[in-house]
Structure 1
């Protein structure tokens, strides 16, 4: 038992280190000539790091970032896992670079280009349904945002997932409370979100989206139902100056400030 606990602690420690490395890359991309969507990237990075730890163990896992404006987080996660060799911060946003502002399917580990909010959800669900029809063990994991749930396509897909009993499907919602124009609760409040997903037949798990123990446990599929993970996160997590601030949705910062943020990462 003690050996198993030690192994788990070591695994969690490695994930924490990867997440910190990825956060530094995201900050560097915010210091690029174009800047990046730093707030949502920092809130989602732990979810991506946790999801890709499962992918590394089982490559028959598909991971899609539906909130594609957080591409900086996706590139950072793929790089720290060695799936993408080039450092994305070196050319992010530059003319001719594959590291574009939304996920580029020409890069390793990115099966679909996303960016139009809501579209990544049916991509993942359709892939998961195909795996079910082929009787494989493929698991489809999609990471979306809470503001993204204002898109009707998210709920249309939930209806299909229920109707087709797509149980090899995990929908992670990055609930950071912010979107482009402000706070989600001021724009389109998500009341009774757990009950909404339960009404569509999902097994719902509410977690702290920055605790890897909870993330790893939550992304396990349910044999009888699709899974919705409501991950409570902090926009701008790790950079005290912008944590919880919806105005940090997209920023361009000077290199001096980027250095300060990286040194003081929490």
Structure 2
């Protein structure tokens, strides 16, 4: 199957909270449809991160100087949905998600437009984005490296090794957005391996820190402006399964395969 052609670009599109809300609603429906695919999908984390993805692609997508990397790659359904609603990918990802021969694989596929790196193993997307940022600084392009990860992913040592390098090299054009939904594969983060005092942790590595509601579009757009004096960490408080009341805040909704009738019900319940 050949790589899909881009149907458009997020760059230059109207970036208003109301428009982003509309796009996020469309994207949530696509994620639910992907959860009804034969393979199911990581629905909980996809629904928690989708507002962040929709906003970041609206602000920075379509500019080749910037790399937006979803490091929590298991939430690929959200990435595909965001790229589709922004017109970067023409084909509806839910139509073939997870099926044999489809480019819409369970982790981000770099053969698709808008995806600079394939990610899967947790922690790896963050150094990809940091490396991109360093390269753009050396080129003097003004480009950004933007990594979007999860709070469970912070248990990976590679995250903090990258933070050390970012500090040592003074990579100020690097933005790390953390989807802080409080859950991971086996349950609640707090019950397994807590990552407390995140602001203090990142500040100790020389990051400037902004804490926001990860479902508030004006807050997201304002927070992802790079800091002129150093790397930026955006700690975005989110709700796992956001938008579907039946699974909101439920760590058991990490991965799901749902019947089409359930998908239809959940889509009708979105607002």
Q: TM-score range by the shorter chain?
A: over 0.9
Could you list the structure 1 runs, at least 4 aligned residues long, displaced by more than 3 angstroms after superposition: 56-59
Partner of 2:240: 235
* Length-normalised TM-score, structure 2: 0.93
Quick one: distance in 2 between partners of 1:57 and 1:126? 19
Report the RMSD for the aligned CA atoms in angstroms: 1.1
SS in 2 for 1:78: helix
Partner of residue 225 from structure 1, selected from 221, 230, 244:
230
Quick one: distance in 2 between partners of 1:260 and 1:93? 22
Matched, 1:118 2:123: yes
Matched, 1:16 2:29: no
Quick one: distance in 2 between partners of 1:58 and 1:156? 28
Quick one: distance in 1 between partners of 2:63 and 2:103? 26
Q: CA, structure 1 residues 114+12, in 2 after alignment: closer, same or farther (shift >3 Å)? A: same
Partner of residue 215 from structure 1, selected from 211, 214, 220:
220
Partner of 1:259: 264
Number of residue pairs aligned between Structure 1 and Structure 2: 258
The alpha-carbon deviation at position 168 of structure 1 amounts to 0.4
Partner of 1:27: 32
The alpha-carbon deviation at position 193 of structure 1 amounts to 0.8
Q: CA, structure 1 residues 87+52, in 2 after alignment: closer, same or farther (shift >3 Å)? A: same
The alpha-carbon deviation at position 58 of structure 1 amounts to 4.1
- On the 8 A contact 2:61/2:114 being kept in 1, the answer is no
- On the 8 A contact 2:15/2:59 being kept in 1, the answer is no
More helix by share: 1
Partner of residue 95 from structure 1, selected from 91, 100, 103:
100
Counterparts of 1:182-201 in structure 2, within 5 Å, are 182-201=187-206
SS in 2 for 1:16: helix
Unaligned runs of 5+ in 2: 1-13
Quick one: distance in 2 between partners of 1:55 and 1:196? 27
Partner of 2:55: 50
Unaligned runs of 5+ in 1: 1-8
Quick one: distance in 2 between partners of 1:191 and 1:262? 34
- On the 8 A contact 1:54/1:61 being kept in 2, the answer is no
